[in-house]
Amino acid sequence: MRHWVRTIWNTRGLARWILLAGLVLVVAFVVMAVLAPWIAPYDFNQTRVDGDKLPKLAHPSGEHWLGTNDQFFDIWSRVVWGARTALEVIVLSVLFSILIGVPLGLVSGFIGGWADRALVFVMDSLYALPSLLLAIVFSFLLRDALGGGIVAAALSLTCIYIPQYFRVVRNTTVSVKQSVYVEAARAIGAPPTTIMRKYLFGNVVQSVPVIGTLNAADALSTLAALGFLGFGIQPTEASEWGYDLSRALDDAQAGTWWPALFPGLAIILLITGLTLVGEGLNETLNPSLRRRRLVPVRMPAMGPSDHYGALPTPGRGPGGRP
């Protein structure tokens, strides 16, 4: 972990800026999600203040910054609460799919044989299907068992992403399994669980953070799509941007722009943030992409100190560097 932080810190050039821009966006949404009760002027399903109904489809104004929608909701409050919903679902679904996909891929790749082949075939077939279609089917099935809440939505997304982790982890396992140090471990009598845990795991999870962040971006767009189709989180459970957009459809036909514009912008900004973090991580953590970026980093270290003293970064350096 510490090693990663330092690698990222030492990277220069575009990759660093991509990563920083993405982090700023994501952190902004995390702050919004955590502080939602204090930031949002109204509750996510609040339509009345002191017994008076909020206005319907009110223009953005000082009172309602982003206006109100056709359900008498304050749109700014919906956007803020929506950040909480989105992040909860994203974190849960990515966590679930890593927890299932990584061990499955590791064991399958390590053991090999017909079970591995069969699993690969099933995962590849699942991967071939449109992810939205799978998500619709899973939410359809989970509706009866779990209702239309955050956990149900997260689980329907989980099922889409398991094949990706499975594939990557399984393929790395298969190639790493052949290496000399694993053979050496086997020769000194290490049992399979030890080999998997101590020798393979660390090598195999390298690419998981990158896939994780990119999947998070994808999970958000799928969540919004499910909500837009009416199969996501039910409006009584939480505020969800995709559902709000589906409510905005008819208003848009009538030329009313504010119920549609703002939830959509929130989706785009968070997806862009997550994608940038993913791309940035990929370019900083992936050695084959990183090498080029690292060359200019070595130069300042060897150069005269006064020339580089003007750089803004060293001020914060000591915290990160031993």
Q: Is 144 in the site for another protein (CB under 8 A)?
A: yes
Q: Is 119 in the site for another protein (CB under 8 A)?
A: no
Q: Is 271 in the site for another protein (CB under 8 A)?
A: yes
Residue with Cβ nearer another protein (42 or 243): 243
- Is residue 71 a contact residue for another protein (CB under 8 A)? no
Of 32, 24, 26, the closest CA to residue 77 belongs to 32
CA distances from residue 220 to 14, 84, 91 in whole angstroms, order as listed? 25, 12, 10
Q: Please choose, out of 35-43, 201-209, 263-271, 290-298, the segment that lies near another protein by the rule CB under 8 A.
A: 263-271
Residue for token digits 């000591």? 318
| 100 touches another protein (CB under 8 A) | no
Whichever of 35 and 118 has its CB closer to another protein, that residue is 118
Asked if 145 touches another protein (CB under 8 A), the answer is yes
In the list 27, 49, 95, 252, the residue contacting another protein (rule: CB under 8 A) is 252
Q: Is 267 in the site for another protein (CB under 8 A)?
A: yes
CA 115 to chain centre: 31
Total residues contacting another protein (rule CB under 8 A)? 45
Binding-site ranges for another protein (CB under 8 A): 121-122, 125-126, 128-133, 136-138, 140-141, 143-145, 217, 221, 224-225, 228-231, 242, 245-246, 248-249, 252-255, 257, 260-261, 263-264, 267-268, 271-272, 275
